[in-house]
């Protein structure tokens, strides 16, 4: 039983072919803070993220996911998960750590997304001029852009959603909160969490048939007005908004999807969503004939590209399966 | 170890000397729904509350708390808690249940607040005309008032905060998230939770020296605009607003406090607050010299009455201790 | 010079083939108030509309515009406008009045929209239980739905925008604030006002080549959150949202378009927009290559139907001109 | 008849003893833009202000009003006002102009506030990198702070409100929209406008008995959320919030009052307020027994200081009249 062994999404590494432009986007428009630079990587966090970083941007040939890191609930929980992962055959092995955290155990999802689990983290310490009297806030609210508050979740494209959903459940204790099941019983989307959030991870069918691609990273505002405010800044600064603001039926999120200059999709999450406290939650099943409202409850529709584009981009390489 | 054995705040019973007027307030202004009436009690829920009821309003001679009910994480967790509570000497015993839930074990906090813990719950089933296509919502969003979304927390006044805080920790697994500690080390406020919410229960020193009184119940909106909207309705309909809207430093809540017609204080929670996912969270200590910003980060100040008035009202019976 | 002779949009009459269903929509969801019923008409107003009514709903065989009524700035201004209208050949003549106002002079726009201009109005007087202490508000804020605050503007479809724009300017003193001019110099949209609002009337090319049709009536919220709130109610109650929420570049309005059950398009205006105080305002010209951002600055796109559907509906009668 | 001869509030000059700190506040927190510096003055504007500047900050020994400038509706209207002002005995005379505008006629209110009226203005021209596709916006929305959108109004403290109200009406065509009249018929507050705004100028009794002082300048957001956002920045950056957010009954404004570092009070206006289109508007009279709701409809109360403090500060010089 992996229940309660994973506590939270700790950080995400993303590759970008345009490091400085990506940085500009995350710092000037989303108000994120740089914690450190090392080699080809820059470490960033939102102003209410407590750890050293929640986003590691690494220069790469093409956009895509580096890895997803989960924090275990305790050193013992970490040990339990590693033992299980080793047996699963999906394990890669321990790394010594990185800036901002200690040793971590790395592994692949069945689809091939690199992930890691860790316990030791370094807490962010604000410099004197950024210390705030609001003691649950690790630093002052930034003066630049419309600052995101915290990392929320990742969405991973999968060739086989069901298999990866089962892995996240069995190996890491993620509970299935909502999923989309077609009439032929194919599962094409799954929203899973280890906390009352509806998801720290979503798994979504890759209609191109590719494996291990990245759909999006989501940062949380919690205030609908902030989506309007940042949309204004995005349009003024030539950042492409793919869709939104709008409200999903699935997960109830008030969303906006944008492309950071490196090509990765970023979701900006504009309300509180709903929270699941019921310990006996029965996963919500969205059937084919319920999908219209499930995908868009109201507001901006999603373009076809939303279901096909992921990073790395394969649009020039594959034909869409009909 | 009580960790994870309690899952959530299930419901609260409040007494009111003016049942029909209280009902009017909760249904017409806060948009709550009546699930059932039985004897001198009416059972209500917010439109995103999943169970049969989250508020039981019972006619009584004076305002005050009936009881607070917690839902265990599993039948086994319930059993563990009951065994521990029996040993603690604070247990009352099992009741067969009530409308909306099965058997529950009742007990008193050291201060004398009646609480219960249970597993079996009845889920709310919407009538045909209230069924919604939004599958994570148990019913349609109501057309009346500015409808609250869900029950959030309770605040209990205590003669001895530290003793009750310790009880909630040891017996029920509540984690201390923030507290206020005076220079003489007296703890005068504690915010505790079993989930990433900063609190499902707050304990607050009763400056009148009374025991077992009730400070407030809180319902959650999650949207700041809703506090403005409902404030308009409250003023138009002669419901007294005690304080707010304003933002606490402690808990970061965007608050408004009002008195329902029966005399109980109700908090309307107007934003998402912040969530605690860190499994190794160190409780935040607010010291005496940090209290000004801790109590009010910005917005409406709290009147003295906020620290003295609770239900039952004792203002005609006791002198305030200086 | 008609400058300053027209003060404001006073009311609009709309036809609906489903009077009771339309009424349900305007009262239960938009929180509008019924002032009177007479014959086949019901008179309604928003809670911050000062006059007897701003919307007259009249049962008719098909949806469409009854008439648009403007209030003159003074009895003398009314007289000046009538003399001019009589000379223009577009005049119909005086009517004795209607519920809520005195005599009015009726006329047609070149496209055939019936309009009237009047001075004498009856002010709404709230019944005792609706009187409010907020003295600039004619009645309490309603408890039902997400109540709109006031009538804002009308949008009229025109076979020839330029000709009608010229008429509104010369006969009624409407100032051109923004317009869309194609590369071949055809004017396909014009936003005009007699106040700092960007428009009390918009004129929009009817791509079906029809004359005298109605595009929409707009009610004002002023708060973005209210579009989200009412969208929720609309979806729950099977009212079709055509587009939005989204922000137009033209006029900067934060819009949502819905169809009331009778088939007329209704715009819900969700922010303050911008105001024009410059007495020497130069009309903004949107050229063909600027239209993308002009039509949608951010948010939900407009469907093709938006540019074709008006009331009365002619979709079964005409072919769209390519 | 001065009706329609004044079109709008053009700009305000304020003195500050701490020019650089004041500038920091207006640019970094309120997101205002510097148009020019000359001598001891800096010229600023909000991002949706169309002219060269709306705020002129001039270094001075103490905080206070420099002057208030009104734009006439036409060159002829300017001429009419000047002739009338000359006859009134309150005229000072013509100045050649200043950065951003041409010749202006200066005069004093009876209380001694310096004002001017002008026609020729210079429009702001954004540099290339600040040009926006939103054609009704003179520049891009700024990336810094929570940017105010436009100058809204001024509030002038008066020894004799009625006399100054009469002057603004007779000499400049300001219409009385709302006022506060005590039981002894003393008028202690008046809100006046030349447009549908409730006020471009408020006159408020100076309870210290001083003459010609300045109460506040107001900048407009139009969005309630922005008051919360900027309040966060203000607290983090040690800018004193005097009161708010809260909603006045008078004028319906959603307000927040802060002190810029130089000591002048600045109001941040957080919603759309209400607009007056009725050409036959009867001024609203707030009587003594209606003042509680008139001053605060809901939200943060006003401290006593609000009614006594103005700039220049006289608190060390005079005794408050009881």
List the CATH code of the domain at B6-123: 3.10.180.10
Which listed CATH number (3.10.180.10, 3.90.870.10, 3.90.1150.10, 3.40.50.10490) goes with C150-308?
3.10.180.10
At residue C122, does pLDDT exceed 70?
A: yes
Q: Each residue of B164-197: pLDDT tens digit? A: 999 999 999 999 999 999 999 999 999 999 999 9
ipTM exceeds 0.85, yes or no: yes
Q: Each residue of C100-113: pLDDT tens digit? A: 999 999 999 999 99
Q: How far is A22 from chain C (nearest CA, A)?
A: 21
Q: Please tell me the distance from the alpha carbon of residue D254 to that of residue D252, in angstroms, as a whole number.
A: 7
Smallest Cβ–Cβ distance between A141 and the set D28, D223, D233 belongs to D233
At residue A317, does pLDDT exceed 90?
A: no
Q: What order of strands is seen across the sheet that includes strand D41-45?
A: D33-38, D41-45, D55-59, D6-16, D64-72, D114-118, D104-108, D91-95
Per-residue model confidence (pLDDT) at position C321: 45
- Chain D hits for B293, CB-CB cut-off 8 Å, are 235
Q: 3-class DSSP state for residue A311?
A: strand
pLDDT category at D318 given cuts 50, 70, 90 is: low
pTM score: 0.97
**Contact residues for D86 (Cβ-Cβ < 8 A; gap 6+):** none
CB contact under 8 A, A143 and D29: yes
First to last CA, chain B: 39
Q: Please tell me the distance from the alpha carbon of residue B234 to that of residue B145, in angstroms, as a whole number.
A: 10
Per-residue model confidence (pLDDT) at position C315: 82
Q: Please tell me the distance from the alpha carbon of residue A32 to that of residue A44, in angstroms, as a whole number.
A: 6
CB contact under 8 A, B298 and D246: no
Smallest Cβ–Cβ distance between C284 and the set D136, D178, D293 belongs to D136
Q: How far is B256 from chain D (nearest CA, A)?
A: 9
CB contact under 8 A, D299 and B231: yes
Smallest Cβ–Cβ distance between A231 and the set C225, C232, C298 belongs to C298
Mean pLDDT confidence for D120-127: 98
pLDDT category at C1 given cuts 50, 70, 90 is: low
Q: Please tell me the distance from the alpha carbon of residue C18 to that of residue C41, in angstroms, as a whole number.
A: 12
**Contact residues for D304 (Cβ-Cβ < 8 A; gap 6+):** none
At residue D319, does pLDDT exceed 60?
A: no
CB contact under 8 A, D244 and B299: yes
List the subunits that have 3+ CB pairs under 8 angstroms with B. A, C, D
Per-residue DSSP letter, C250: G
Write the DSSP string, A246-270.
EE-SGGG-EEEEEE-TTS-EEEEE-
Element holding C185 (H helix, E strand): none
List of E strands, chain C: 6-16, 33-38, 41-45, 55-59, 64-72, 91-95, 104-108, 114-118, 150-158, 175-181, 187-193, 201-205, 214-220, 241-247, 254-259, 265-269, 284-287, 298-299
To 10 degrees, what angle do helices B75-88 and B161-172 make? 140
- Owner of token pair 């008028």: D187
- Chain B hits for A251, CB-CB cut-off 8 Å, are 136
Q: How far is C262 from chain B (nearest CA, A)?
A: 21
Smallest Cβ–Cβ distance between B245 and the set D241, D245, D293 belongs to D245
pLDDT category at A315 given cuts 50, 70, 90 is: confident
- Chain A hits for B222, CB-CB cut-off 8 Å, are 271-272
Tell me if chain D has a CB within 8 Å of the CB of C49.
Answer: no
Per-residue DSSP letter, B142: P
Burial A233-272 (b: 16+ CB within 10 A, else e): bbbbeebebbbbbbbbbbbbbbbbbbbbbbbbbbbbbbbb
CATH class of D6-122: alpha beta
Mean pLDDT confidence for A35-53: 98
Q: Each residue of B125-144: pLDDT tens digit? A: 999 999 999 999 999 999 99
Q: Each residue of C12-57: pLDDT tens digit? A: 999 999 999 999 999 999 999 999 999 999 999 999 999 999 999 9
Per-residue model confidence (pLDDT) at position B318: 53
At residue A33, does pLDDT exceed 80?
A: yes
At residue A319, does pLDDT exceed 70?
A: no
- Chain C hits for A231, CB-CB cut-off 8 Å, are 247, 298-299
Tell me if chain A has a CB within 8 Å of the CB of D223.
Answer: yes
At residue A122, does pLDDT exceed 90?
A: yes
- Chain C hits for B237, CB-CB cut-off 8 Å, are 140, 143
Q: Each residue of D149-170: pLDDT tens digit? A: 999 999 999 999 999 999 999 9
- Owner of token pair 């219209």: A292
pLDDT-above-70 percentage for chain A:
98
CB contact under 8 A, A298 and C225: no
- Chain B hits for C144, CB-CB cut-off 8 Å, are 143-144
pLDDT category at D3 given cuts 50, 70, 90 is: confident
Q: Please tell me the distance from the alpha carbon of residue B163 to that of residue B191, in angstroms, as a whole number.
A: 14
List the subunits that have 3+ CB pairs under 8 angstroms with D. A, B, C
Tell me if chain C has a CB within 8 Å of the CB of D291.
Answer: no
- Chain D hits for B268, CB-CB cut-off 8 Å, are none
Residue from D126, D227, D234, D236 to probe the interface with A (highest A Cβ count within 10 Å):
D236
pLDDT category at C320 given cuts 50, 70, 90 is: very low
Tell me if chain D has a CB within 8 Å of the CB of A31.
Answer: no
Smallest Cβ–Cβ distance between D231 and the set B225, B235, B298 belongs to B298
CB contact under 8 A, A298 and C234: yes
Mean pLDDT confidence for A283-307: 96
- Owner of token pair 């559907």: C309
- Chain D hits for B29, CB-CB cut-off 8 Å, are none
Q: 3-class DSSP state for residue D76?
A: helix
Q: How far is C39 from chain B (nearest CA, A)?
A: 29
At residue C185, does pLDDT exceed 70?
A: yes
Tell me if chain D has a CB within 8 Å of the CB of C198.
Answer: yes
CATH class of A150-300: alpha beta
Residue from D11, D48, D123, D277 to probe the interface with C (highest C Cβ count within 10 Å):
D277
Q: Each residue of C263-278: pLDDT tens digit? A: 999 999 999 899 999 9
- Owner of token pair 């005086």: C94
pLDDT category at B296 given cuts 50, 70, 90 is: very high
Burial C280-316 (b: 16+ CB within 10 A, else e): eeeebebeeebbebbbbbbbbebeeebbbbbbbbbee
At residue B321, does pLDDT exceed 70?
A: no
Q: Which residues make up the CATH 3.10.180.10 domain(s) of chain D? A: 6-122, 150-308
Stretch 84-143 of chain D: residues touching chain B, C-beta under 8 Å: none
pLDDT category at A320 given cuts 50, 70, 90 is: very low
Name the β-bridge partners of B56.
B13, B43
Q: Are C265 and C218 in contact (CB under 8 A)?
A: no
At residue D272, does pLDDT exceed 60?
A: yes
Q: Are C236 and C74 in contact (CB under 8 A)?
A: no
> Which residue of chain C has the CA closest to A243?
C299
How many CB pairs below 8 A link B and C?
38
Mean pLDDT confidence for C148-170: 98
> Which residue of chain C has the CA closest to A224?
C225
Write the DSSP string, D12-58.
EEEEES-HHHHHHIIIIIS--EEEEEETTEEEEE-TT--BS-SEEEE
Q: Each residue of A158-193: pLDDT tens digit? A: 999 999 999 999 999 999 999 999 999 999 999 999
Q: Tell me what the pLDDT averaged over chain B comes to.
A: 96
**Widest CA span in chain B:** 59
Question: What count of other Cβ atoms lies within 10 Å of the Cβ of residue B105?
Answer: 22
Which residue, C183, C225, C174, C242, is CA-closest to C202? C174
Q: 3-class DSSP state for residue D290?
A: helix
What are C225's two structure tokens?
A: 């959150």
- Chain B hits for D298, CB-CB cut-off 8 Å, are 228, 231-232, 234-235, 241, 245
Residue from C222, C227, C246 to probe the interface with D (highest D Cβ count within 10 Å):
C222
Which residue, D132, D69, D135, is CA-closest to D103? D69
Tell me if chain B has a CB within 8 Å of the CB of D252.
Answer: no
Q: Which residues make up the CATH 3.10.180.10 domain(s) of chain C? A: 6-123, 150-308
Per-residue model confidence (pLDDT) at position A318: 53
CB contact under 8 A, B254 and D297: no
Q: Are B243 and B301 in contact (CB under 8 A)?
A: yes
What are C49's two structure tokens?
A: 């509309």
Per-residue model confidence (pLDDT) at position A109: 98
Q: 3-class DSSP state for residue A130?
A: helix
> Which residue of chain B has the CA closest to C230?
B143
Per-residue model confidence (pLDDT) at position B248: 97
At residue D1, does pLDDT exceed 90?
A: no
Tell me if chain A has a CB within 8 Å of the CB of C20.
Answer: no
Q: Classify the C-alpha dihedral B248-A255-D144-A56 as positive or negative.
A: positive
- Owner of token pair 């508050």: A149
Per-residue model confidence (pLDDT) at position A223: 97
Per-residue model confidence (pLDDT) at position A210: 97
At residue B322, does pLDDT exceed 60?
A: no
Which residue, D244, D217, D33, D213, is CA-closest to D139? D33
pLDDT category at D316 given cuts 50, 70, 90 is: confident
Rg for chain B, CA atoms, rounded = 19
Per-residue model confidence (pLDDT) at position D320: 46
At residue B266, does pLDDT exceed 60?
A: yes
Which residue, B271, D124, C298, is CA-closest to A273? B271
CB contact under 8 A, D141 and A236: yes
Mean pLDDT confidence for B273-300: 97
CB contact under 8 A, D7 and C279: yes
Q: What order of strands is seen across the sheet that includes strand C104-108?
A: C33-38, C41-45, C55-59, C6-16, C64-72, C114-118, C104-108, C91-95
**Contact residues for D204 (Cβ-Cβ < 8 A; gap 6+):** D155, D156, D157, D158, D161, D188, D189, D215
Q: Please tell me the distance from the alpha carbon of residue C3 to that of residue D4, in angstroms, as a whole number.
A: 10
Which residue, A73, A124, A82, is CA-closest to A105? A82
């Amino acid at each position: 039983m992996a229940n309660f062994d994973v506590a939270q999404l700790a950080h995400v590494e993303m590759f970008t072919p345009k490091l400085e432009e990506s940085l500009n986007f995350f710092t000037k428009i989303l108000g994120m803070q740089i914690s450190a630079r090392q080699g080809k990587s820059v470490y960033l966090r939102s102003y209410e993220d407590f750890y050293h970083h929640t986003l590691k941007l690494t220069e790469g040939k093409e956009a895509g996911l580096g890895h997803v890191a989960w924090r275990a609930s305790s050193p013992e929980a970490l040990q339990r998960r590693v033992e299980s992962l080793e047996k699963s055959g999906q394990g890669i092995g321990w790394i010594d750590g990185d800036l901002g955290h200690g040793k971590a155990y790395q592994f692949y999802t069945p689809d091939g997304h690199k992930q890691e689990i860790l316990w030791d983290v370094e807490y962010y310490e604000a410099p004197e001029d950024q210390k705030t009297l609001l003691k649950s806030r690790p630093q002052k609210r930034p003066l630049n852009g419309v600052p995101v508050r915290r990392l929320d979740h990742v969405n991973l494209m999968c060739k086989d959603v069901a298999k990866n959903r089962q892995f996240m459940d069995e190996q890491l204790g993620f509970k299935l909160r909502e999923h989309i099941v077609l009439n032929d019983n194919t599962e094409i989307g799954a929203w899973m969490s280890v906390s009352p959030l509806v998801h720290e991870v979503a798994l979504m069918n890759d209609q191109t048939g590719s494996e291990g691609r990245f759909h999006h990273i989501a940062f949380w505002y919690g205030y609908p007005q902030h989506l309007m405010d940042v949309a204004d800044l995005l349009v003024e600064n030539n950042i492409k908004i793919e869709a939104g603001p709008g409200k999903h039926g699935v997960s109830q999120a008030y969303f906006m999807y944008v492309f950071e200059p490196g090509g990765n999709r970023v979701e900006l999450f504009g309300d509180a969503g709903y929270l699941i406290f019921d310990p006996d939650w029965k996963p919500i099943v969205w059937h084919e004939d319920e999908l219209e409202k499930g995908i868009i409850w109201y507001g901006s529709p999603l373009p076809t590209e939303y279901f096909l584009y992921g990073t790395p981009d394969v649009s020039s390489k594959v034909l869409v399966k009909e």
